[in-house]
Structure 1
Amino acid sequence: MNAADVRAMSDDQLKEELLKLKKEQFNLRFQRASGQLENTARIRKLRRTIARIETARTERSAQESKGS
């Protein structure tokens, strides 16, 4: 998921996607700790996608506060 995809989502969609990604991140941490994780690059991609969503949410809240 790239930044353009994230910006195209609504606030509710972003919140829902963030929750889903954080659950997946939690599961990947357990897999890594137990030695069952095969695709270690997935953790890095997941962290970056979460950061993109958080950044988009911060930008939107900054625009809303600036506009009011």
Structure 2
Amino acid sequence: MAQKPEKWRELSEAELRLREKELMEQRFRLKFQMAAGQAESTTKLRNLRRDLARVKTVLRERELEKSHDRG
């Protein structure tokens, strides 16, 4: 689902947390399938990892903004 960072930034924190959980579950299932020899596409795993990193980056940016505003 490789979206641009602007698209991720438009989502609310709750939506990002939900998306993070979904991506982690998908990654777990895909890694398990790959270990069992059922999955063939490593590209999907790479894209999941990258999307998860994007979500975590946006969440971290927001966390830092909040702490910066307080301090």
Q: TM-score, normalised by structure 1?
A: 0.95
The answer for the alignment partner of 1:7 in structure 2 is 9
Select between 36-45 and 12-21 the one with higher mean Cα deviation.
Answer: 36-45
RMSD: 0.7
Which residue in the other structure is 2:58 paired with? 56
Mapping 1:1-68, distance limit 5 Å: 1-68=3-70
Shift of 1:34: 0.7
Task: Give ranges in structure 1 of 5+ residues lacking alignment.
Answer: none
Give 2:6's aligned amino acid: A
Partner amino acid for 2:67? Answer: S
* Alpha-carbon distance between aligned partners in 2 of 1:3 and 1:36, rounded to the nearest angstrom: 32
Consecutive unaligned residues of structure 2, counting only runs of 5 or more, are none
CA distance in 2, matches of 1:27, 1:67: 39
1:39, distance to aligned residue in structure 2 (A): 1.8
Letter in 1 for 2:38: Q
Cα deviation digits, residues 6-43 of structure 1 (max 9, x gap) = 11100000000000000000000111001111221000
